[in-house]
Amino acid sequence: MAPRALIAGNWKMNMDRVSSEVLASALAQNVGSVAVDLAVCPPSVYLSPVSVVLGSSGVALGGQDCHTAQNGAHTGDVSPEMLADLGCTYVIVGHSERRTDHGESDADIRAKTTAALAAGLRAIVCVGESLAQREAGETLAVIAAQLAGSVPDADPAALVVAYEPIWAIGTGKVPTTGQIGEVHAFMRAQLRDRFGEGADAIRLLYGGSVKGANAAEIFAVNDVDGALVGGASLTAADFLPIVAALDAA
């Protein structure tokens, strides 16, 4: 049996405390009985107030990153155990902005994923190619290397993989459904080679300029089990139509 579809909102370094609470409240009040899993990933400083607002609504909480250690002299970092202590269920690891801005390698991301799973979190592992790599025909080779290097041997049910082509993040550019389908089918095949039939428990999300206007088309693609949404997750008016599209898929 395939796992429930998942949509996760990555708020990145946006919002303030009041707007975070207002958005969390709107989501908690309007998700109703949707038959999909829903999570939001606020900035770490707002995890606690957002958690209080979400309460028992069924909307899960996630972190945007984590350290590999449980504790220690790591100024400014947040451990997976801290996230779990605040009520997080998920954590994003390996987002292209972390890979680029902070120089994170596949090995770094694999270590973070392992630490997150050990803390009882579900890890959303991000992979994706640059525009130069896409134009050079290197997309599948890049994805294969990132999957092999970033995803540890672990319980497949605790893993989520998000395909986010770097050139589509926040640009308004969206791959064709054929391009999305090709990458998602490839990822599923790669994961089945490693995990066998258990790979079908790994939810494969698409991320990159997902909006209410294109969500239904994207969710109709085989092996797309949901979405990791950035800019369109910052308001209920933009985010809820995407949730509705996944619920109807």
The catalytic site residues sit at 95, 164
User: In b/e form, how buried is each residue of 193-215, taking b as 16+ CB within 10 angstroms?
Assistant: eebeeebbbbbbbbbbbbbbeeb
Strand 37-41 relative to strand 6-10, pairing:
parallel
Cβ proximity of 143 and 129 under 8 Å: yes
Cα separation, 113 vs 116, whole angstroms: 5
Phi, psi of 235 (to 5 degrees): -135, 150
Single out the residue of 99, 108, 10, 23 nearest to residue 63, CA to CA. 10
Cα separation, 79 vs 112, whole angstroms: 9
In the 8-state DSSP scheme, what is residue 202? S
Token pair of 235, please? 């308001």
Dmax over Cα atoms in the chain, in whole Å? 47
